[in-house]
Amino acid sequence: MNSWETETTTKRRDKLYIIAEILNIAGNGTLKTQIMYKANLSFAQLNEYLKLMLKIRLLEKFGRNGKDMYRATEKGADFLQRHHEITELLKTEEENGTNGKNGVKVPPQKLLRKA
């Protein structure tokens, strides 16, 4: 288990965080049940996220050994990279004790999720 997972499992996760987590888990190919367990989602929640992510082409579904697998698309990998960059940018701004550029307030560190 990654160190960031232990810090976020007791906190409420937003949709973008969950999408990034699914993309990270799916990587180059993962079974639906593995995504469900590793992302700690119910079957109904997982199906909603997969439907959305397939529709907007963040994930693709393919078959391997007669089983449906899911993997991140190029667009999904781009989303994951950008999510990580934004999270790091906000974290860095907060750690420096500054507000973001143009007077944008940075949320407290405890509200930021590590990717």
- Is residue 109 in a domain? no
- Is residue 113 in a domain? no
- Is residue 26 in a domain? yes
- Could you tell me the CATH number of the domain that includes residue 84? 1.10.10.10
Structural domain containing residue 92? 3-98
- Is residue 9 in a domain? yes
- Is residue 62 in a domain? yes
Q: How many domains does the chain divide into?
A: 1
Q: Taking the model in full, what pTM does it have? A: 0.70
Q: Percent of the chain beyond pLDDT 90?
A: 61
- Is residue 114 in a domain? no
Q: Does the pLDDT value for residue 20 go beyond 60?
A: yes
- Mean pLDDT, the chain, as a whole number? 83
Q: Give the separation between CA 24 and CA 113, rounded to whole angstroms.
A: 14
- Is residue 104 in a domain? no
Query: By mean pLDDT, which of 1-10, 54-63, 64-73, 90-99 is the weakest?
Result: 1-10
